[in-house]
A and B are shown apart, each in its own frame.
Chain A
Amino acid sequence: GENVEQHPSTLSVQEGDSAVIKCTYSDSASNYFPWYKQELGKRPQLIIDIRSNVGEKKDQRIAVTLNKTAKHFSLHITETQPEDSAVYFCAASTGGSNYKLTFGKGTLLTVNP
C-alpha cells in the first residue's frame, strides 16, 4: 500500500522567515496530494491541495510543489506569522473509487515572534 514519509517532524522559524515541509510517497499511482493544518485541540483543516497534472499551486503565502518523477511534494510557507504555528500533515491518495488518504506523521511548526 501507499506509504508517506514527512520531514522534518519539528520545525522552528522566526516570524517573517520561510518554512518548507517535504513529503515523499511510494505509490506512483497517487494523484491527489492535500495538506492539512491542525491547530492545538482543533480538527485538521485543508489548506491547499495539488493534483498530479499540476506541478505547482499557490494561494497567497502558501505554495505546494509536486515532482512526480521523484515522488515527492513540498509545502512552502512564506512570511511566516505566529498564527501559522500548528501541526501540518501531508497526504496522498490514488483517486478513483479507492477513497483512502494516507497521511504523513506530521510536522510541528513553531513560529517565534
Chain B
Amino acid sequence: KAGVTQTPRYLIKTRGQQVTLSCSPISGHRSVSWYQQTPGQGLQFLFEYFSETQRNKGNFPGRFSGRQFSNSRSEMNVSTLELGDSALYLCASSLALIAGHEQYFGPGTRLTVT
C-alpha cells in the first residue's frame, strides 16, 4: 500500500506571495491532518479534515487555510507569506473516524520564505 505523499517536497517563495501544498493520503484513509514543524516549536497542529469537512483547527491566523476533496486528497494554502512561515509542513492521514488511531505522516514539504 502506498504511503502518504506530499508535493512539492521543497519550495522557495518570497514574502507576500501565496503557496499551495498538496497531500495524498493512504488509500482508504479519510482523515487528513496538517502540522507545521519548526525547530523551536516542534509539531503544531494546523487543521484536520474528514470527508471534506474541517473538524478541528489549531491556533494559526486566517492566512492558513485548507480543503479536502472527495477523493480525500487535501491541500493547504498560505497567503501573504511571512518569513516566520518558513517550516516543514507535514500532513498525516488516518483511517479512523475518531481520534485514537495511528496517524501516518507524509515526508513533508520544506517551505522557505525569503
Q: How far is the CA of A98 from the CA of B57 in the complex (A)?
A: 10
| 0/1 string, A17-50, CB within 8 A of B gives 1 | 0000000000000011010100000111110010
Contacting pair A95 B98 (CB below 8 A): yes
Given known pairs A34-B102, A49-B102, the reply for A99 and B33 (CB within 8 Å) is yes
Q: How far is the CA of A46 from the CA of B107 in the complex (A)?
A: 14
Contacting pair A101 B100 (CB below 8 A): no
A residues in contact with B103, CB < 8 Å: 34, 46, 101
Cβ-neighbour of A45 out of B43, B55, B94, B105 (below 8 A): B105
| 0/1 string, A50-66, CB within 8 A of B gives 1 | 01000000000000000
Q: Does B70 contact A (CB under 8 A)?
A: no
Contacting pair B90 A93 (CB below 8 A): no
Q: Does B28 contact A (CB under 8 A)?
A: no
Query: Among A43, A45, A103, which residue has the most Cβ atoms of chain B within 10 A?
Result: A43
**What's the minimum C-beta distance from B109 to chain A, rounded to whole angstroms?**
12
Contacting pair B99 A98 (CB below 8 A): yes
Q: Does A69 contact B (CB under 8 A)?
A: no
**What's the minimum C-beta distance from B25 to chain A, rounded to whole angstroms?**
13
Q: Does B56 contact A (CB under 8 A)?
A: yes
Q: Does B31 contact A (CB under 8 A)?
A: yes
Residues facing A in B85-103 (CB within 8 A) are: 90, 94, 97-100, 102-103
Given known pairs A96-B98, A99-B31, A100-B56, the reply for A105 and B41 (CB within 8 Å) is yes
| Chain B interface mostly | strand
Q: How far is the CA of A105 from the CA of B102 in the complex (A)?
A: 19
Contacting pair A101 B33 (CB below 8 A): yes
Contacting pair A89 B50 (CB below 8 A): no
**What's the minimum C-beta distance from B39 to chain A, rounded to whole angstroms?**
9
B residues in contact with A106, CB < 8 Å: 42-43
Q: Does B8 contact A (CB under 8 A)?
A: no
Given known pairs A103-B44, A105-B42, the reply for A97 and B105 (CB within 8 Å) is no
Query: 8 closest pairs, A vs B, by CB?
Result: A105-B42, A32-B100, A103-B43, A43-B105, A93-B99, A95-B99, A100-B56, A99-B99
| 0/1 string, B55-94, CB within 8 A of A gives 1 | 1101100000000000000000000000000000010001
